[in-house]
Structure 1
Amino acid sequence: MALLTPSVPGLVWAYQFHGHSKTCRRLPTEAGRDDLATPDSGDFLWLHLNLADQRVPAFLEGFQDLDPAVVTALTTHETHASMTLDDRMVYGTLVDFQRDFDADTRDIGWLHFAVCGNLIITTRLQPLRSIDRVRAAVEKNPARFHQPIDVFEAIVAEFQRTLISLVMELTEELNQIEDVVYGNDSRDERRRLAPVRRVVVRLHRHLRTVLTLMRRAAAADDDEMPAGFDDVAGRLTSRLEAVDHDVYALQDRARLLHEEIDSKLSSETNRHLYILSLMTAFLLPPSLVTGFFGMNTAALPFAHTDSGTGWAFAFMLLSVGFAWWLLKRAGIL
């Protein structure tokens, strides 16, 4: 029944690229399946769908005889990056960052893609940051996109640029935390550092996964690669390796800051324990004196004299002086 629907289910946007004129045309959101055809051999189509529409899997199953593995890759809800090259097709899942209506976020999102002949299909569940920037680039300069693999390269390149902007934001946050940690302020910065470290660790983990997938894809047989993928994979690998060094350095810096905060807090705790130990050492001898004179036994010294309390205070002061002399002689003070 989904194939009889006049409009494409879950359509976010669709662009028809005309290779000879180096232009593109955005199809209306109510476009039907017949409007997605590419009449000329040099043309190609970019179709972007929203997986929140439950009709999308049925539509893709009957769209241009897509391979079942491609349909599965485009409609999966798995949350890990993947990339498969098979019969001059490349498909899988890329990591991206979600965006709200009025702001970008640091929440991880997932973009499913497939490059098949003169077609590139992308699907997602939440709005994503990089894919929207690629759409803006297409609107601004469609002549730079000659084949579907160029759109794929732009998507990964925008992900790399997003990583760079996040690295700059996180670096500024670490600078502020570092100023406090190495300053005279005794504030505990672990609450501010913890979310930064969590974001950096997730960035590094997902970036390493994408980089590994890209290297593996670049080493595949030429017969399995789509046209132009070899050069694209080489360029993208270089870009991802460059930002990977920055993310790794940021992760190492955050770890060192955490260790410095722990060391500072440990020193502060040891200082408090040292002061508490000294107070205990000075108060223990007078406590013994008061305990001795507080016994309810007969024949206590100075019990029947008018100056007994004064003598007790004198013994307390002498015990404090004796404790001070012992600590001084032992090198503790």
Structure 2
Amino acid sequence: MPSTSPAVELTVGDRTVRVSSPDRVVFPARGVTKLQVVEYVLSVGEGILGAVRDRPTTLERWPKGLVEGAHLATRADPKADAFFQKRIPKGAPDWVPTTTVTFPSGRSADEVCPSELAVLVWAANLGTLTFHPWPVTSAALDHPDQLRIDLDPQPGTDFSDAARVGLHLRELLDELGLAGHPKTSGGRGLHVFVPIEPRWTFTEARRATIALGRALERRLPRDVTVAWWKEERGERIFVDYNQMARDRTMASAYSIRAKAHAPVSAPLRWEEVGEADPLDFDVTTMAARFAEVGDLAAPLVAGAAPRGSLDALLDLADRDERDRGLGDLPYPPEYPKMPGEPKRVQPSRDADRD
């Protein structure tokens, strides 16, 4: 039933933010209300703001909460209960900053670019559960300052498999002079973010991620794949290299995920990765963990030092092409055809395939 509780006003920094229908249940399975979602955001405020500050950020909004049958809008089903908001919502306060981003289609949009915690509380009042920041800042929109590696379990695998691969990934990053920072995805996957100098393009960062995935696949051929087509992946961990393509984003650290048990994307210490259970991190437990361990994602905050170089990975990409004949891989379907990209044809439907 619709909430009938009066709105509350919260002081967040120098702002007063109104929270309407504070007792509306957002996660029925846990009994978590909208006000509790807002209180969670405040409890991890330094961390979640650091993850998105000065970054164009897509808002994943669930205005009605996770009611039965609620689902995200898609191109095929645009009239759904939840949606990704890439443009600043109408009626936003004048203190909510934006930056203009350009999509692969050539279209552009003014996207929310958080600068203070009040912006995140305002967004949470609109039903935002997950914040999806770009890996760039407003000062350098074409040059990522993070390499984002998504270890995505395929059917027959789970988080424990992704965690095992993640520890090998850490070794590989160390050899390349790069520092990876792991977090749960909030689901079955593992994310590893790497701070890099913002002097490479999205195309170069994606190419570096492909090279990294291929190197990991060579080390663990039974456990890892970079195959874009699901029919070729098998029961392995997919390194989703296209998460580094322009306008592809991943959940921020500390974001709530739209699942019944209200999990969050939790930064981890590397020594925790092999033992962690993603179900342990949710809106009811994360505040205490944050108070205990602090912001494990702080090295990824925009402007933080040190930041790594992609030179070694791009050299590896060159060797893959020159010595192994390994070129580009398919882009996401919404992209225009890219130079050097292979055919976007599912292998089982490719009549020209040998």
Tell which structure's C-alpha radius of gyration is larger.
1
Does the TM-score normalized on the shorter chain lie above 0.5?
Answer: no
Higher helix share: 1
TM-score of Structure 1 vs Structure 2, range by shorter chain: under 0.3
Task: For CA contacts below 8 A with separation 6 or more, give which structure has more relative contact order.
Answer: 2
TM-score scaled by structure 2? Answer: 0.19
